Amino acid sequence: MTVTTQQLYKVLAEKFGFTRFRPGQLEALTALSEGRDTLAVLPTGAGKTLIYECYGYAVQRPVVIVSPLLSLMQDQVRALNLRGETAVTAVTSLMSFTEKRVVLQHLNRYRFIFSSPEMLTQPAFLTALKACQVGLLVVDEAHCISTWGPDFRPEYLLLGRIRNALGRPLTLMATATATPQVKRDILKKMQLPTAAQIGLSVDRPNIYLKVVKTATEQDKQTQLVSLVKGLKTPGIVYFSSRKTADEVCEVLRQSGVPRVAAYHGGLSADSRYKVQQQFMNDELTVICATNAFGMGIDKANIRFVIHYHLPVDLENYWQEIGRAGRDGQQSIAILLYTPGDERLPEYLGQANIVAEADIAAFFARPRPVADDDPLRLVAFYRQHHLNQEQVIALFASRRQQRRQALATLLTYVNTSNCRRRVVQAYFGEPTSSLSQNCCDQDSPETTVENLHLTAPPTSVLPGDILPWRATLDQLFLGKS
């Protein structure tokens, strides 16, 4: 189905209230309108979701979005709800039997259908989808095909076949970060070698890059407190462990950072919702989060992202710091590093990689395995006709890749040259001219003051508990 540029602008104005597309959006939409499958690599905050939403409205056919995380899907559904779009659903493992039955029976009523690769392998869902004449298949966070597929979410590797089973609908693969190798891998696994490629630089020139090295864990905590107290908010501090997120959150609170809260998968859905809303409303100014927080958070004025732990690779790091400065204003990303910090990501990166002896034992005596068993991956590959040697080779190469990825991140940490150049080289981008406030290696004299990121002197205390009458008046009568 051909869509004209005028139609796209009409949708942009009517549905989104904009008159201009952001860089990369129209290029991707034009490629899709010409019927070309498209790989769009656009930096975080560039508006990737608008591309498929706009296309869906223009062609008036359902859009199926494959998304890696339940929380991300929920955020995306809510973001569409927020704009008044109700014909949207997320078909996930969280659905009750009744809900799933009702939704699948009426699948053609939905304009946007979110789901996971695992769910898409279920025949009932696939059959229901086939009947709705999908207008566009979107693989969101498409880098997961390459980075998660082999050792974590093998169903990602089946997306090419699933696409065929759906009758090869027009496909958009979208991601914020992809090295040349990852791009090649995505296109190969999706069986779309000739897809159009739209790419913008992954660089975020308004984010100043800094690494703070500390000798001990205690020093790190002290540094964190002083950084958070000195920086303009809102900001996010990322952790790799829920427990540390909770503990450091408490340390920050005790140190006089009043409007801080922890956010991780261990909180109830209710608390996660409230913390997120309070942060969006600027009632909370600092969030101590695990990576459960962020994908889908669209808050434009985040001024700092601090990493307390090392992420597993530079892609993840770049994705997470990309949440800062979406409004284009000066922001800062700080990575705290204590010698030995690499042990945690090393462990996390290797966690799903199965040892050679275990693979051999499984092939010698295959057995059913539980969903959370690391051998599930071996069983998956065996089921898809890989032999023992191939599986062993695959995991060996994966182990090597993970090590390499961590080594690259450590290069970023330890480099004595420009940090941005390390990132650009990693993502295979030409080195662009660098801004004056690039990183602590290029301009070590740059201070928080120079960046205009100093915390304002006053800080408001968190709200008290109101008398219940006042709370009810506020809720129902709009009295504040």
Site of interaction with another protein (CB under 8 A): 74, 78, 81-84, 95-96, 98-99, 102, 253, 261-262, 267-271, 273-275, 277-278, 281, 283, 462, 464-469, 471-478, 480
Are 56 and 8 a contacting pair, CB within 8 Å? no
Q: Which is nearer to another protein, 4 or 81 (CB)?
A: 81
Q: State which residue, 98 or 416, has the beta carbon closest to another protein.
A: 98
List, in order, residues 6 or more apart from 78 with CB less than 8 Å away. none
Among residues 357 and 461, whose Cβ is nearest to another protein? 461
| Cis check: omega of the bond before 234, within 30 degrees of 0 | yes
Q: Closest approach of Cβ 124 to another protein, in Å?
A: 17
Neighbouring C-beta atoms of residue 43, cutoff 10 Å: 20
Give CA–CA dist 5/11, Å, rounded: 10
Q: Which is nearer to another protein, 209 or 262 (CB)?
A: 262
Least distance (Å) between residue 466 CB and another protein: 7
- Least Å distance, CB 273 to another protein, is 6
182-192 burial string, b = 16+ CB within 10 Å, else e? bbebbbebbeb
Complex with another protein: residue 357 or 465, whichever CB lies closer: 465
Smallest distance from another protein to CB 12, Å:
18
262 vs 422, beta carbon nearer another protein: 262
Tokens of 314: 């530079």
Beta strand segments in 311-373, E: 331-337
Nearer residue to another protein within complex by CB, 78 or 399: 78
Q: Which is nearer to another protein, 181 or 471 (CB)?
A: 471
Could you tell me the smallest distance in angstroms from the CB atom of residue 90 to another protein?
Answer: 10
Quote the CA–CA distance of 448 and 232 in Å, as a whole number.
9
Give 13-19's long-range contacts (Cβ < 8 A, gap of 24+): 15/53, 15/54, 15/57, 15/83, 16/50, 16/53, 16/54, 16/83
Orientation of helix 388-414 relative to helix 375-383, angle to 10°: 130
Starting from the edge strand earliest in sequence, which strands make up the sheet with 63-66, in order?
88-91, 112-115, 63-66, 136-139, 171-175, 38-41, 196-199
The H or E element that residue 213 is part of is strand 207-213
C-beta of 257: minimal distance to another protein in Å?
12
Q: Rounded to the nearest whole angstrom, what is the least distance from the CB of residue 116 to another protein in the complex?
A: 17
Is residue 263 helix, strand or coil? strand
Measured distance CA(115)–CA(65) in Å, rounded = 6
Q: How far is the CB of 208 from another protein (least distance, A)?
A: 31
Distance of closest approach, residue 351 Cβ to another protein, in angstroms: 21
Around Cβ 316, how many Cβ atoms within 10 Å? 20
Cβ closer to another protein: 8 or 77? 77
E-assigned strand segments in 46-192: 63-66, 88-91, 112-115, 136-139, 171-175
Would you say 248 or 377 has its CB closer to another protein? 248
CA distances from 191 to 58, 80, 130, 446 (A): 26, 30, 19, 47
Query: Cβ 225 to another protein, closest distance in Å?
Result: 17
